[in-house]
Amino acid sequence: MDDNAERLKKPYTFLMLKLPGLIDPHVHVREPGQTHKEDWDTATQAALAGGVTTILAMPNTKPPIFDEATLELALSAAKAKARCDYGQYIGAGPDNPDVAASLAPKAAGLKMYLDSTFGELRLDDMTLWTPHFQKFPKSAPMVMHSESRTMAAAILFSAIYDHPIHIAHVSLKEEILLIKAAKEKGIKVTCEVCPHHLFLTSSLRPSPSGRGVGGEGRTEVRPRLATKEDVDSLWINLDAIDCFATDHAPHTLAEKDGENPPPGFPGLETLLPLLLTAVDDGRLTIDDVVQRLSTNPKRIFHLPDQPETWVEVDENAVYEIKAADQFTRCGWTPFEGWKVRGKVRKVVLRGKTAFEDGKVLAKPGSGRNVR
């Protein structure tokens, strides 16, 4: 991003690009339980502002989503407040393999937390993984938070139980190479990579005047930001990356700059501008972006068509990312001050203008459950 000055010098000619409604399979909506960070209203406004018309919501809420009652809690809030389409994951717990399997038709999929994360959902003991692999329907998506060696174990489970898995937020060279090798062996594994793991490295240092960071807590995210070699390997092995997903994980600035900063970055509103800027830099094609934000996630997560739905982007609009312009409630972004090229102008969802020129027009409750 050090060619920012160059980017601003490029001549401006208005160029409208039409994209399909984007799909983000990894969003932390925070409702129920932590609506001071985000809720179904603000998360789906942020989604629309980012060109995203479908979000799949993670289950590490308060309480976590792990049975019928908690699923209903999340879905009733979504039904009343969501402004774009949505699905809700169920979390894999030590005691819920049967219940989770029975709720599969109503859920976006099963999320298994096998490594360090934010919230209570975590399956430390490998013996707890087995019943989920045995019982959760093979046709329903299973998403793994599994890093490094845990990822290797999850891929082995996928092969043994012949259950497709989707690996969340891949960040390391060893991980993308392993996924590539597993795919070559015919193992049914797909994966996603987050923009922050494509554009930021662990050398990101807090500097109040610098680009995008304040206190040390603002660099905290799981998986952690990685080395330049890791980041480069993700770009080199782009063909092994099925989806781009934000892992939109809003925490307030006070929390990020406080005593025990929770891990997580917001990402819904910076996803497309960052990727389109990479297109402008010749690192990606528009087709690469559409594959990973629409075609592939639609297939992997078995999502319905959204007729008469599209996103209009002004490809040549150059501007600075500012938290102050965002709809997320969390009030910050790790990309503050970045110069990007490509702005969402308009989003049409099922024939209705849902977002236009900086304003969310879709009403709360207009979003539909994809299941």
**What are the residues binding ligand NCD (CB under 6 A)?**
28, 60, 117-119, 145, 221-222, 247, 249, 262-264
Residue 367 site contact among Zn ion, ligand NCD, none (CB < 5 to 8 Å, cut-off depends on kind): none
Residue 298 site contact among Zn ion, ligand NCD, none (CB < 5 to 8 Å, cut-off depends on kind): none
Q: Which residues of 299-312 are buried (b: 16+ CB within 10 A; e: fewer)?
A: ebbebeebeebbbb
Q: Which amino acid is at 358?
A: G
Q: Which is nearer to Zn ion, 193 or 313 (CB)?
A: 193
Question: To the nearest whole angstrom, how small is the minimum distance from the Cβ of residue 283 to ligand NCD?
Answer: 24
Question: To the nearest whole angstrom, how small is the minimum distance from the Cβ of residue 356 to Zn ion?
Answer: 30
Residue 329 site contact among ligand NCD, Zn ion, none (CB < 5 to 8 Å, cut-off depends on kind): none
Q: Which is nearer to ligand NCD, 306 or 333 (CB)?
A: 333
Question: To the nearest whole angstrom, how small is the minimum distance from the Cβ of residue 28 to ligand NCD?
Answer: 4
Peptide bond into 32 cis (omega under 30): yes
Q: Please classify residue 228 by burial: count the beta carbons closer than 10 Å to its beta carbon, then call 0-12 exposed, 13-18 middle and 19+ buried.
A: exposed
Q: Which is nearer to Zn ion, 39 or 247 (CB)?
A: 247
Residue 166 site contact among ligand NCD, Zn ion, none (CB < 5 to 8 Å, cut-off depends on kind): none
| Ranges assigned E (strand) in the chain | 16-20, 22-27, 52-57, 85-88, 90-91, 110-113, 142-145, 165-167, 189-193, 243-244, 310-320, 339-349, 352-356, 359-360
Structure tokens at 259: 């005593």
Question: To the nearest whole angstrom, how small is the minimum distance from the Cβ of residue 210 to Zn ion?
Answer: 26
Cα–Cα distance, 203 to 216 (Å, whole number): 12
Residue 371 site contact among ligand NCD, Zn ion, none (CB < 5 to 8 Å, cut-off depends on kind): none
Among 247, 255, 280, 336, binds Zn ion (CB under 5 A): 247
Q: Which is nearer to Zn ion, 175 or 247 (CB)?
A: 247
Tell me the CA distances in angstroms from 143 to 158, 187, 314, one per residue in order: 11, 15, 33
Q: Which is nearer to Zn ion, 146 or 309 (CB)?
A: 146
Q: Does residue 314 touch Zn ion according to CB under 5 A?
A: no
Tell me the CA distances in angstroms from 211 to 88, 187, 195, 264, one per residue in order: 34, 40, 16, 17
Helix (H) or strand (E) holding 174: helix 173-184
* Segment interacting with Zn ion, rule: CB under 5 A, options 62-70, 131-139, 151-159, 246-254: 246-254
Question: To the nearest whole angstrom, how small is the minimum distance from the Cβ of residue 317 to Zn ion?
Answer: 29
Rounded to the nearest 5°, which phi and psi values hold at 283? -90, -15
Restricting to residues 274-303, which ones interact with Zn ion according to CB under 5 A?
none
Question: To the nearest whole angstrom, how small is the minimum distance from the Cβ of residue 21 to ligand NCD?
Answer: 23
Structure tokens at 246: 């934000």
Cα–Cα distance, 217 to 206 (Å, whole number): 9
* Segment interacting with Zn ion, rule: CB under 5 A, options 69-77, 190-198, 247-255, 267-275: 247-255
Q: Which is nearer to ligand NCD, 200 or 318 (CB)?
A: 200
Q: Rg of the Cα trace of the chain? A: 19
Number of residues that bind Zn ion (CB under 5 A): 1
Q: Which is nearer to ligand NCD, 21 or 32 (CB)?
A: 32
Strand 165-167 relative to strand 189-193, pairing: parallel
Q: Where do contacts with Zn ion occur on this chain (CB under 5 A)? A: 247
